[in-house]
Amino acid sequence: MTGPETDSTRRSFLRRAGALALAALAAPLGLLGAGLAPTRAADARQRWVCTNADCEPYIYDPATGDPVNLANPGHPLPPGIAFEDLPDDWRCPDCGSPKSYFRPTRR
């Protein structure tokens, strides 16, 4: 069976298959999430504390990253990502507060 509908389905399938293949190749090379690459050494060591009164408080430590990542479950953030480089929609894993609730800390 051929025709415009079959060709469209085939193209759609090939696009998805190509994207999956690229993702599979890029993941081991660390190319996925290139915008989340580690930054300057000083920034990469700065810890940030959540200031929400209902929080434990949670301290974001770039040395450990965020294995929970409430903003995108199933996609943990690896160690080495400075707080400033976290995605804009990142949230506190303990209370769900946005990045604006965090302040630098020496704890």
Percent of the chain with pLDDT over 90: 51
Beta strands in 1-107 (DSSP E): 47-50, 59-60, 102-105
Q: Which domain holds residue 25?
A: 1-32
Please indicate, yes or no, whether residues 21 and 58 belong to a single structural domain of this protein.
no
Q: How confident is the model at residue 91 (pLDDT cuts 50, 70, 90)?
A: very high
Q: How many CA atoms lie within 13 A of 34 on its CB side?
A: 4
Strands 102-105 and 59-60, bridge-based pairing: unpaired
Residues 47, 97, single domain; the answer is yes
| The pLDDT value given to residue 1 | 53
Overall domain count for the chain: 2
Question: Looking at the structure, do residues 4 and 27 belong to the same domain, yes or no?
Answer: yes
